[in-house]
A and B are shown apart, each in its own frame.
Chain A
Amino acid sequence: DGGITQSPKYLFRKEGQNVTLSCEQNLNHDAMYWYRQDPGQGLRLIYYSQIVNDFQKGDIAEGYSVSREKKESFPLTVTSAQKNPTAFYLCASSLGPILNTGELFFGEGSRLTVL
């Protein structure tokens, strides 16, 4: 089955530690995205990538880093510089530019809790 796989589903981290969230897709989509969702909030864009080896900052990139070395993979690292990292993280992909295709396909999300 085609889809987006995020791991881990739940993650606990101590303050000051970096953590990497995995996102893999087998949809052959060009574009991939990372969103953050806090309780009662909508989705806020962290980073996105339209093609391999290229990515752009979203609205809340500070304290996060990404890489796009392969089309299928777009891992997100939450660094110790992120002041309030506890949140639900969603990875998504789209076939092409949003304006043309309109649809984001989401993974099941990773819930990060900082202790």
Chain B
Amino acid sequence: QKEVEQNSGPLSVPEGAIASLNCTYSDRGSQSFFWYRQYSGKSPELIMFIYSNGDKEDGRFTAQLNKASQYVSLLIRDSQPSDSATYLCAVAPGYSTLTFGKGTMLLVSP
């Protein structure tokens, strides 16, 4: 069973701080990695994807990938209360589907 592990949280950070969300995966052959954000009662939406080792930045978001350690992270700089949501890590172990982690709840306090 291919697994994607995340700390369920909640992760609480004050407004303006950096939030760090982490994810590990079991399938060493996985090639693409995604972060989805899901607000309570809503459907997930893609915020970042990364294919290569290293960092990828998009505005306040940075995705980090370390394939040797089978580790993916998402950094959110200058966190805002509107960032409060559950963040789902997803991995493509093959060609056709995504495997999701259980998600980490992020709470940003004003």
A-B contact pairs, 12 of them (CB 8 A): A41-B102, A42-B4, A45-B99, A58-B97, A90-B44, A97-B96, A98-B95, A98-B97, A99-B31, A104-B36, A104-B98, A106-B44
Task: Establish whether residues A42 and B43, one from each chain, have CB atoms under 8 Å apart when the complex forms.
Answer: no
Describe B's contact surface by its main secondary structure: loop
Give which listed residue, B44, B46, B94, B99, contacts A99 with CB less than 8 A: B94
Which residues of the other chain, A, contact B46 by a CB distance below 8 angstroms?
Answer: 102-104
- Give Cα distance in the complex from A36 to B63, angstroms: 26
- Give Cα distance in the complex from A33 to B43, angstroms: 14
Task: Establish whether residues B98 and A98, one from each chain, have CB atoms under 8 Å apart when the complex forms.
Answer: yes
Which residues of the other chain, A, contact B42 by a CB distance below 8 angstroms?
Answer: 108-109
User: Which residues in B have some Cβ–Cβ distance to A below 8 Å?
Assistant: 1, 4, 6, 8, 31-32, 34, 36, 42-46, 49, 88, 92, 94-103
Q: Is A31 an interface residue (CB 8 A)?
A: yes
Counting contact residues on chain A (CB < 8 A from B), the size range is 20 to 34
Task: Establish whether residues B88 and A43, one from each chain, have CB atoms under 8 Å apart when the complex forms.
Answer: yes
Task: Establish whether residues B96 and A48, one from each chain, have CB atoms under 8 Å apart when the complex forms.
Answer: yes
Task: Establish whether residues A43 and B95, one from each chain, have CB atoms under 8 Å apart when the complex forms.
Answer: no
Q: Name which residue of chain A comes closest to B2, CB basis.
A: A59
Task: Establish whether residues B92 and A109, one from each chain, have CB atoms under 8 Å apart when the complex forms.
Answer: no
- Give Cα distance in the complex from A58 to B98, angstroms: 10
